[in-house]
């Protein structure tokens, strides 16, 4: 009886399949595609009482912030396109 149990145990061990192969390593995302530029800080409005010069200076700062924001948006869109190309090349 013990011989039969040992025989069945050994037969069961011999019939097992080999363990599955580990998955292939995923390619590492390039650092330049990992992040978009940070947010642009909008300058606060001048405190009251506002002079004409203070409003003009604030407008100039606001315009510069708009240009930086648009440049950051364009860079992020460009990186998104590059990221789509990279993902398509590394399925």
Q: What are the C-alpha distances in Å from 62 to residues 4, 22, 52, 53, 71?
A: 87, 54, 15, 14, 14
Instruction: Give per-residue pLDDT as tens, 6-62.
Output: 766 666 665 567 788 888 888 888 888 888 888 889 999 999 999 999 999 999 999
- 76 with 37: CB under 8 angstroms? yes
DSSP class of 15 = T
* Averaged pLDDT, 67-91: 92
Q: What are the backbone dihedrals phi and psi of residue 81, each rounded to the nearest 5 degrees, phi first?
A: -65, -40
Give this prediction's pTM. 0.63
Contact assessment for residue 32 and residue 79, using Cβ atoms and an 8 Å cutoff = yes
Whether the Cβ atoms of residue 59 and residue 42 lie closer than 8 Å to each other:
no
pLDDT for 31 equals 86
């Amino acid at each position: 009886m013990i011989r039969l149990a040992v025989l069945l145990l050994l037969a069961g061990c011999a019939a097992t399949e080999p363990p599955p192969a580990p998955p292939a390593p995923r390619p590492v995302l390039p650092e330049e595609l990992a992040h978009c530029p940070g947010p642009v800080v909008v300058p606060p409005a001048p405190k009251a009482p506002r002079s004409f010069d203070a409003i003009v200076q604030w407008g100039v700062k606001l315009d510069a912030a708009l240009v930086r924001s648009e440049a950051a948006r364009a860079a992020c869109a460009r990186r998104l396109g590059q990221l789509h190309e990279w993902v398509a090349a590394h399925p």
